[in-house]
Structure 1
Amino acid sequence: MQKRNIIFSVCLILIVTFISYHSSIKNDFVNWDDNLYITGTNKIRELSLKSIVNFFTSYDIVLYNPLVSLSFAIEYKFFKLNPHAYHLTNLILHLINCLLVFWLIVLLSKKASVSFIVALLFGIHPLHVESVAWISERKDVLYALFYLGSIISYIYYLKGETLHFIQGDSKKQNDGGKKYYYYSIFLFLLSLLSKSMAVTLPFVLILTDYLNNKKINKNTLKEKIPFFILSIVFGIITVFGNQSLKNANESQVFVFSKSILNVSDQITFYIIKTIIPVKLSCIYPYLNKIGNLRFFDRIGSEFSGIFLFSPIILIFLTVLIFISVKYTKKIIFGSLIFLITLLPVINIIPIGWNIPADRYTYIPLLGIFYIIGEIFSYFYTKYNKIIKILLCSILIAIIIVFSYLTQQRCQVWKDSITLWNDVIKNYPNSIAIAHYDRGKVYQERGVYNKALSDYEQAIKIDPNCYEAYYNRGITYQTISKYDEALLDYDQAIKINPNYKQAFNNRGVVYYNKKDYKKAIFDYNQAIKIDKNYSEAYNNRGTVYQAIRNYIRALSDYEQAIRIDKYYVEAYNNRGNIYQINKEYDRAISDYEQAVKINPNYLNAYNNLAVIYYNKKEYARTVLNYSRIIAISQDNVQAYYNRAIAYYQNKEYDRAVKDIIKLQELGYKIPDDFEKILERYGKLR
């Protein structure tokens, strides 16, 4: 292989892949896990030894991927919540993975043409968009980085031959071989710390031995013992983390966890999507019962018959693969790479969510791409010029189509609305989560009629969708329809008696209705479900504060802060208690901590201004009202209060300017204050 050809191939792969994905850099966060892993969590907002230890000693939601959390924390340290930085990181990791794929296939096939095809297909295939354009799926691009690196290191170990340290045979001992063996183990560990799907690597290494004509015997398997030990350990960690998720979703997700039909359906699904990547979606319809052909809509009605006969199709393909062994190892190698790396997510080895998802194909597709690359190379070298031109034309057409589809798919991930619009367009009246997650976006934007419409559609699709009832309850609560909100929270709790958020929000409604006894009961229930539920402690504190039980209120606010040291509202509320108790220095400290965490938190600035006004420190009063105005430029109450502070500080000209601004905003100035300023002849 000429160095010039390799450099040209690599550059072309990187350029085409970057062009296909470049629009993803401009995308926003989405409310499909990004809110859980990045925008809505305080876990990544501190980068310290303590936080790093926490990453490695706790689950993130229900998953154990500490390196992913660490990467987010590093980005937050430098870029805060700038989504473009996170998207750029994902794309850079994907480009590096393309290089590693090229390198790996060069080592396996020793053909630049095969490496080029495999790496380019890996780079631009539309099924990989989810892993790259979705920030939360940093897991895929990161685990793949170390996974591929581990295989490459292992191949270098094979080339260095040998490492028989377990057996004590050192007659062919090679220190270089040892080095790459240990590199491989270390990189495998990093891959496991990024995503549990890496547990399949020991089997892939055995396949690598097979392809490299290394005898599969007792000694070969002994070399894999460290890899298998790591796989077992991380497999156990993953199963424990996913246990609660599995229990909560058993009826929806795992109905056919032992069904041959479901397994064959999923394998066929991935094969068809690889060849014909249409109607892609961030989530696909569930399987509900045998005979319910709704799952055929995953690809389109024109292909639905394929899934009905998926077991037969797979048996036929399996026979062909085994027949091919007589002629070449390459087809069975690629096929087993595809199948083995899919095992954790096709219900044979149930780990986490096991419904089909594009992201699960990030590494498995290498098997199919390898077969395609080898077949292309075989026909290209065997046949005449016309066939070569035809093959190149087909390859170029595939590259153009896939690159275009990938660019289009990146635009789907632009924001939450475009994401859920795409799901609903491809699978109308099929996926409840698409409607209630889009409804949440409309709710946040204040478009309550559209939010309610989406929640109602979600409930129509799935009458047991407690999240839809809960979110509709929030919308009713926001527009002060408390009775309707209570009905929805009641229904959510009826469906899921352990739904702590519904108890908490129902408590808020009772608080707003001044039914404090029921509010406290609901907050107690939420805390009973989750003793570390900081929001319930904070909200219970507001009830105790309302009934003037300040000791209990203070205790609850302190507990909320102990659980979540970034809880802005809890600091503000505790500051209010200190202010009531005339402990002004403590109150000021809490308010300042609140605005330190959230510089746009207006309530704390207002409370600081009130304290300083009562202390007759008018300059500081003005400063805090000015901060409110800088954030909310039409905040008439802040202008009015600042005018009073200016007046008390004898800055009459500035007081008048604020009054004039209030008049421009249509605010009615109290007569007494207007007359006072008129005495100084300053009011126009």
Structure 2
Amino acid sequence: MLKVKPYAPILLVVVGFAIYSNILDAPFVLDDNVYITDNPWVGSLGNLFDMRDARYVGFVTFALNNYIGGGLFGLHITNVAIHVANSVLLYLLISALLRALVAKGFFGPDEKPLVNLDRLALCIALVFVAHPTQIYAVTYITQRFTSLATLFYLGAIIFYLKSAPDISGNGSNRFRSSLCYVFSLILTVIAMKTKEISFTLPVVLMGVEFGLLRRESCAKVSVVRIIPFILTMLIIPLGVIGVGILGGTENAVGELMMQQKLKDIAAVSSYEYLLGQSMVIITYIRMLLIPGSECSACDFSIGKSFFEPAIFSASVTLLIVIAATVYLFIRSVARRNGYLLLISSGILWFFLTLSVESSVIPIQDIIVRHRTYLPGVGFITSAVTAFFLLVSIINRRKRVNISPFYITLIFVLMISVITHMHNRLWTDAIGLNTYFAELEPCSSSHHISLAGVYASEGRWKAAHTEYRKAVGIEPDRVLAWSNLAKVSMRLGLFDEAIEEYEIVLKLEPGNFNAHYSIGLLYLKKGLPDESDVELAQALRLSPGNEMVLKLRALLLKVRTGEFDPSGLKIRMSD
């Protein structure tokens, strides 16, 4: 009988922490400042009981990190611990599934299956913990949302399996089975409040209930068991569209995220987004198949026609893969072939869990690397199982003794080195942003991030250069123009800063910061009348603003000759 090996979780913990040991003091990068360092919601535990945010659980963990202390080390060690825990849960899940399939006769009547199932479960988890694509959900602090949602996702499935007496071994212990069922439901709700990718979890549980646990003698029991989980699928839509029972959220970042989602949905048709995602999914598959391979967002765009050569070939390829997988799944069930069932189920998992972000719901970023994390669970399961099966068949037919286990261990060692080496890049914020800026020259975001790093170090000229590159790439991006103007002020380029703030106002009329800053600059230049016009606009936008009132009082002194504006110290608003 297949049993969980005590050494397996220990090995996964050691391997996982060894791979990520060099990122525990890595700096904040990319969007970390938006979600963590500059987000007042996570600055204290004051909002701990405000559960209205769509990603409440993830934000709470950041707040707890901040409360406990530990700085970057605490944030990184938490992310690594979550990832390692996911690998252990994956090992436990695969082991539980294999036990269930063995019990139902899916691996034949032989006492010794063709494949060593103990080693198969361990190797799947090892490849998962070591794969380089996981960096984007582990080393990148902000993407804890993804790895944390996966933690609850896997946990919910495991407890659901344990709630079935014939699978868990609980026998007639109805209390223990009921407790596991409740835990599964709680984890499902928590997953839904962590990230939107959890939306598919009830569908997976339906597959477990009506497929693996099939109660042909009492189908009503299965229906009753799954209904509460189906109802949890309401949580995410209500949260995204902002009509949750408790109303809006005090988390400004979370609110902006929801608003952006609605803008994305309105900006692009679902059909065009789906067409573009066909090529993206092919790229995700390549990244999972070839560890260490990269992708560039510049190579992808929203599709316009199904018959565009690239879209047509990608779409047809995916349709063939999906059709073949469904056929393989049906055939494996009919023939009670556990190996083919595991392979086909893993591929279906990949497409199902990817469907939230790569199907008909438009998202601003067409391709993002961390989106392979949860789908990768299924893909890696399929790939490793297929490899074990292929080698075992060769061994039997050719009468050789090739070990798929040791070959996989060598592969894990190789990708562990790749992951560890790639992690080094994340310890240097300038190097990382430069790498991404070169990889994706069409994106202004990396230049903005790089400029932000330079600015934090007081390297204003370098920051100015990067912001200039950003507005050159994306001329209608308000953030880039606004930050460029701030840096120009720092460098004493007042005329240039005024021009840049005027562009901000053309793009975003009613921008308080632009009016205030132009008023400040005009006053500095000794132009009180022009300054007064801008400050009046700023005061209209923010009545009673203390900064504006103080500056207007100073303006009066300039007009009466009581104050020399050349001595005015430049102070920028946030």
Do these two structures clear the TM 0.5 threshold for a shared fold by scoring above it?
A: yes
* 2:326 aligned residue (314, 322, 330): 322
Q: Which amino acid aligns with 1:457?
A: K
- Alpha carbons of structure 1 residues 68 and 365: separation in structure 2 relative to 1, 3 Å: same
Answer 1 or 2: higher relative contact order, Cα 8 Å, separation at least 6: 2
* 1:41 aligned residue (21, 39, 42): 39
SS of the residue 2:24 aligns to: helix
| Percent identity of paired positions between Structure 1 and Structure 2 | 21
Q: Provide the residue aligned with 1:21 in structure 2.
A: 20
Q: Provide the residue aligned with 1:264 in structure 2.
A: 278
Q: Provide the residue aligned with 1:235 in structure 2.
A: 237
Q: Provide the residue aligned with 2:191 in structure 1.
A: 191
Q: Provide the residue aligned with 2:86 in structure 1.
A: 97
CA distance in 2, matches of 1:525, 1:268: 52
Q: Provide the residue aligned with 2:439 in structure 1.
A: 426
CA deviation after TM superposition for structure 1 residue 384, in Å: 2.0
- Alpha carbons of structure 1 residues 70 and 246: separation in structure 2 relative to 1, 3 Å: closer
Q: Provide the residue aligned with 2:554 in structure 1.
A: 546
- Alpha carbons of structure 1 residues 333 and 161: separation in structure 2 relative to 1, 3 Å: closer
CA deviation after TM superposition for structure 1 residue 435, in Å: 1.2
CA distance in 1, matches of 2:392, 2:165: 27
SS of the residue 1:446 aligns to: coil
CA deviation after TM superposition for structure 1 residue 185, in Å: 0.6
Does residue 360 of structure 1 match 2:371?
yes
* 1:115 aligned residue (102, 117, 121): 121
- Alpha carbons of structure 1 residues 226 and 481: separation in structure 2 relative to 1, 3 Å: same
Q: Provide the residue aligned with 1:441 in structure 2.
A: 453
Does residue 52 of structure 1 match 2:66?
no
Does residue 84 of structure 1 match 2:73?
yes
TM (norm. structure 1) is 0.67
Counterpart mapping for 1:496-645 below 5 A: 496-497=508-509, 501-510=513-522, 512-513=524-525, 514=528, 515-524=530-539, 526-527=541-542, 537-546=545-554
- Alpha carbons of structure 1 residues 218 and 497: separation in structure 2 relative to 1, 3 Å: farther
- Alpha carbons of structure 1 residues 522 and 256: separation in structure 2 relative to 1, 3 Å: farther
Q: What is the alpha-carbon root mean square deviation over aligned residues?
A: 3.3
SS of the residue 2:39 aligns to: coil
Q: Provide the residue aligned with 1:73 in structure 2.
A: 63
* 1:456 aligned residue (464, 468, 477): 468
CA contact (8 A) 1:121 1:399 kept: yes
Q: Provide the residue aligned with 1:410 in structure 2.
A: 423
- Alpha carbons of structure 1 residues 70 and 17: separation in structure 2 relative to 1, 3 Å: same
CA distance in 2, matches of 1:498, 1:317: 51
CA distance in 2, matches of 1:21, 1:196: 26
* 2:494 aligned residue (482, 500, 518): 482
Does residue 375 of structure 1 match 2:386?
yes
| CA displacement, residues 447-468 of structure 1 (integer Å, 9 cap, x when unaligned) | 2332222222222322323322
CA deviation after TM superposition for structure 1 residue 288, in Å: 4.3
Q: Which amino acid aligns with 2:85?
A: I
Give the paired residue count: 510
CA distance in 1, matches of 2:129, 2:21: 12
CA distance in 2, matches of 1:404, 1:174: 47
Does residue 9 of structure 1 match 2:2?
no
Q: Provide the residue aligned with 1:607 in structure 2.
A: none
**Greater Cα offset, 509-518 or 456-465:** 509-518
- Alpha carbons of structure 1 residues 524 and 387: separation in structure 2 relative to 1, 3 Å: farther
* 1:131 aligned residue (133, 137, 144): 137
Q: Which amino acid aligns with 1:321?
A: T
CA contact (8 A) 2:192 2:199 kept: yes
Instruction: State which structure, 1 or 2, has the greater radius of gyration over its C-alpha atoms.
Output: 1
CA deviation after TM superposition for structure 1 residue 546, in Å: 2.9
CA distance in 1, matches of 2:342, 2:374: 17
Q: Which amino acid aligns with 2:532?
A: K
**Greater Cα offset, 134-143 or 180-189:** 134-143
CA distance in 1, matches of 2:511, 2:284: 34
CA deviation after TM superposition for structure 1 residue 336, in Å: 1.7
Q: Which amino acid aligns with 1:135?
A: I
Q: Provide the residue aligned with 1:559 in structure 2.
A: none
CA contact (8 A) 1:507 1:522 kept: no
* 1:332 aligned residue (334, 338, 344): 344
SS of the residue 2:402 aligns to: helix
- Alpha carbons of structure 1 residues 215 and 426: separation in structure 2 relative to 1, 3 Å: farther
CA distance in 1, matches of 2:512, 2:422: 36
